[in-house]
Structure 1
Amino acid sequence: MRLGFGKGHNVDPAGVLNAIASAVVVADRDGKIRFVNQATEQLFNTSAAVLCRSNLKDFIPADSPVFSLVAQAIDEATLVADHDLLIESPKIGRHAVNLTVGSMPDENGSAVLTFEPRSIAQKIDNQLLSRNSARSVSAMAAILAHEIKNPLSGIRGAAQLIEQTATEDDRVLTRLICDEADRIVNLVDRMEIFSDKPLERGAVNIHTVLEHVRRLAENGFGQNLHFEEVYDPSLPPVYGNRDQLIQVFLNLVKNAAEAVQTEDGQITISTRYQHGVRLAVAGGDTRVHLPLVVSVRDNGPGIPPDMRESLFDPFVTTKPTGSGLGLALVAKIIADHGGVIEVKDVPTGGAEFQIMLPIYHRNLAEDVQANQKDSWIKEETL
């Protein structure tokens, strides 16, 4: 393996790889292991000396998607990835991992595999957290609608009656009561949008969605900001719901705008095609490719470290007057689309939200619709 280092620096490549927390394996097309780092010893519960005399198929079943990814990476000389991949065997036990495979530029046809372990609990949480959180919020909204909206209507009506005979000073208070009653009703109404009904999807031009969002922003909350667009015009349609995708990116752009209220505030919206990323479809065995990547990046202060783990939970917000439902809704919609949303800091400052979505093709639409139907039938019988 050849790694690039600055002149005058004597760095051991193996030492660098051993410092990585993820398991790194170099193997050929047939699975023969040529190198492992220390994290691999822990993941496979086997010493490096034994691993380097072994084959990956001694530890991972031969029919695992791992080997098709290795072949794809070598054949196409590219980088491929599979999120939430389950590897299981008597030797290594049961592990959920994010796997990335890249080809090596050598004559032996080798690949570098990086296993990022994820606990089974994390795997389940990642697939169901947004959906379950949405259901909890929706159930809460139904209760609030019955137990709170009706009494609030009476309170508001009483305040309006008092206002008719009140002094000007007292009217300030009655108007405050009405405004707060309206605010609570609006909050309940916003929570009701988290319902878990089947999503109607079709072929959507993602650039039409993003252009619509940009125009709304430039003529409203983002009129003092600079917008930069970096689009790949050759992208195929996304498999999605246009209105809900507009809601997703409008939320993300609005959050970015609120984070960069300065003279040099900038928001960059970009799209690109990315090979090799896959994710399991909830409710079935289908693994969907997620090649369409949309990024929303700002040059604001970034995300506070203590907020990262709960950023997409309902009622979590960094804004004094925020409800904390915007990003929860974004995560729920992306999960409904079978996609992935990630957030990371920008090295030069700011935050970047990256969304990976499936592209439209007829077979995928039929598979997802069948899984949705089966899922709803099961829920109705519970």
Structure 2
Amino acid sequence: MKSDHLLMNDELIACTDVLENLATAVLVLDTQCRVCYINTATEIMFEISQRQAEHIPFQMLLPGELRLQKSIQRVLSSGQALIEREITLFLPASGEIVVDCAIKLMDLGESYLLIELSQLDYQQRVNRDENLQTQQQVVRGLAHEIKNPLGGLRGAAQLLERQLDSDDLKEYTRIIISEADRLQNLMTRMLGPYQQSDKTAVNIHEILQRVRQLVDIEVDERLQFIVDYDPSIPDLHADFDQLIQIFLNIVRNAVQAMHGIGIIRLRTRIQRNLTIDKSFYKLGVLAEVEDNGPGIPKHLQDSLFYPLVTGRADGTGLGLYLVQNLVQRNDGTVICSSHPGQTVFSVTFPLESS
């Protein structure tokens, strides 16, 4: 049996400590494909603890997954390591994910299988967030450039109106003034709130309950809220009012998508070993808003948080753009997964400094 410690700078470090801090999901199976060990990233991915997973057959974690089962059998029979790219897995707890998978046979006195699962949508999310931040900077610059001449246009229309005697002609200047005001308001919303974030200790459940109360006033008994909170979650450091606005926008979007009829689930969980905007955090809080509405059209899902993107005829396409903006101001990240019958917005905030 090889040493279960590493020698670094004259200090012994347990190999399990290294594994527990990896972002990659690691599993060790015996030759009967029973689970011997999983690290923290695997516990998060499958929503199962090491104690619960130990000794259970691997196929119980992924019922019906044939491609990965065949790959494991190939490694067991040939002894050759194998890498599978872009495998779509269905996790009973959280739905579909896409992973790269490395499988290797280890000889530690006895034979064991080492399986590494690297989730691909994380990198896709990082790339999307970077693209979105670049676009936000361009949009804010453009909005500033548009606001300045709009003020002059409105002022000129007002001066012209004073010189006109005909009510018919004044109607045209009123239209100019009205449209200039509408565009000014649109540009202001695109620029987002001007105030800096006022961060204090915030209870995520107080936020969600306040949002629920606000929306309850606007709907009737055909809309039902179901809550699933983790009461052990500590306070996070964030702006109370901005978090209210974040979840109010998301919940109202769900209500509008379902035309006020359906179920909205509010869920919270602790997250471990997460990366947000290239910063690593040991602990975070995940708050999810799930609805059973028709889902978001496939062609809109990749650009959902971009400005002026909307699936509604009467929408401005700024609600989720502002959600993304406010989430980033509070050091968080937001993602969405959607298909007919289930749409989930997942917002994650760190629980400590990076």
TM-score (norm 2): 0.64
Residue number in structure 1 paired with 2:167: 166
Deviation, structure 1 residue 179: 3.4
2:185 is the counterpart of 1:186: yes
- Structural RMSD (CA): 4.1
Contact in 2 for aligned 1:334/1:340 (Cα 8 Å): yes
SS in structure 2 at match of 1:136 = helix
User: Does structure 1 conserve the Cα–Cα contact (< 8 Å) formed by 2:105 and 2:114?
Assistant: no
Name the structure 2 match of 1:355: 347
User: Mapping of 1:228-267 within 5 angstroms?
Assistant: 228-230=225-227, 231-261=229-259, 265-267=261-263
Question: Is structure 2 residue 132 aligned with structure 1 residue 139?
Answer: no
Instruction: Tell me the CA shift for residue 281 of structure 1.
Output: 4.6
Larger strand fraction of residues? 2
Shift of the alpha carbon at 1:37? 5.2
Corresponding residue SS for 1:39 = strand
Structure 1 residues 346, 225: closer, same or farther in 2, change over 3 A?
A: farther
List aligned pairs for 1:1-382, cutoff 5 A: 1=33, 2=57, 3-4=59-60, 15-17=67-69, 36=82, 38-39=84-85, 51-52=104-105, 112-117=115-120, 122=124, 125-155=127-157, 158=160, 165-166=166-167, 176-193=175-192, 199-220=197-218, 222-223=219-220, 225-230=222-227, 231-261=229-259, 265-282=261-278, 286-345=279-338, 349-359=341-351, 361=352, 364=353
CA gap of 1:328–1:160, structure 2 versus 1, over 3 A, is farther
Q: Distance in 1 between matches of 2:157 and 2:221?
A: 40
* Percent of residue pairs identical: 25
Counterpart Cα distance in 2 of 1:308 and 1:266: 21
Amino acid at match of 2:250: L
Alpha-carbon distance in 1 for matches of 2:70, 2:212: 45
CA distance in 2: counterparts of 1:276 and 1:36, whole angstroms: 29
| 1:343 match: secondary structure | strand
Whole-Å separation in 2 of the counterparts to 1:40 and 1:190 = 39
Partner Cα separation in structure 1 for residue 308 and residue 205 of structure 2: 30
1:292 alignment partner, SS class: strand
After TM superposition, give the deviation of residue 336 of structure 1 in Å.
2.8
How far 1:257 sits from its partner (Å)? Answer: 1.4
Structure 2 gaps of 5+ residues are 1-32, 34-56, 88-98
Q: Tell whether the 8 Å contact from 1:201 to 1:241 is kept in structure 2 after alignment.
A: yes
Q: Kindly tell me: are residues 236 and 14 of structure 1, through their superposed partners in 2, closer, same or farther at Cα, counting changes over 3 Å?
A: same
Amino acid at match of 1:355: V
Question: Which whole-Å deviations, capped at 9, do the CAs of 1:114-154 have from their partners, x for residues lacking one?
Answer: 1124697x465344334333222221121112122321343
